[in-house]
Amino acid sequence: MANTRRAILNWCDETLQTALFKDYAPNGLQVEGRSDIRKIVTAVTASRAACDYAVSQQADMLLVHHGMFWKSEPLTITGWKKDRIATLLKHEINMAGYHLPLDAHPVLGNNAQLASRMGWTLDKQFGEQNLLNAGRLKTPKTLGELNAELHQKLGRVPVAVGEETRVIENIVWCTGGAQGFFQTAIDEGADVYITGEISEAQFHLANETGTAFISAGHHATERYGIQALGEAIQAQFGIETVFFDEQNPA
Ligand SMILES: [Zn+2]
CA distance 231 to 241: 7
Percent above pLDDT 70 for the chain: 99
C-alpha radius of gyration, the chain, whole number: 19
What's the CA-to-centroid distance between 166 and ligand 1, angstroms? 29
- Does 222 appear as a known binding residue? yes
Backbone CA torsion sign across 113, 148, 151, 176: positive
Counting beta carbons within 10 angstroms of the beta carbon of residue 107, is it exposed (0 to 12), middle (13 to 18) or buried (19 or more)? exposed
Q: What is the pLDDT of residues 224-250, one digit of tens each?
A: 999 999 999 999 999 999 999 998 989
Give the mean pLDDT of the chain: 96
What's the CA-to-centroid distance between 107 and ligand 1, angstroms? 17
Q: In the predicted model, what is the mean pLDDT of residues 23-52?
A: 97
What's the CA-to-centroid distance between 67 and ligand 1, angstroms? 10
pLDDT at 1 over 60: no
What's the CA-to-centroid distance between 66 and ligand 1, angstroms? 6
First to last CA, the chain: 40
Q: What is the pLDDT of residues 179-211, one digit of tens each?
A: 999 999 999 999 999 999 999 999 999 999 999
Measured in residues, the chain has a length of 250
What's the CA-to-centroid distance between 125 and ligand 1, angstroms? 18
What's the CA-to-centroid distance between 139 and ligand 1, angstroms? 29
Residue 3 pLDDT: 84
- Does 65 appear as a known binding residue? yes
Predicted TM-score (pTM) of this structure: 0.95
The residues near 3 (Cβ < 8 Å, ≥ 6 apart) are 36, 37, 38, 237, 238, 239
pLDDT at 2 over 80: no
- Does 103 appear as a known binding residue? yes
Q: What is the pLDDT of residues 99-150, one digit of tens each?
A: 999 999 999 999 999 999 999 999 999 999 999 999 999 999 999 999 999 9
- Does 219 appear as a known binding residue? no
What's the CA-to-centroid distance between 2 and ligand 1, angstroms? 31
Q: In the predicted model, what is the mean pLDDT of residues 155-179?
A: 96
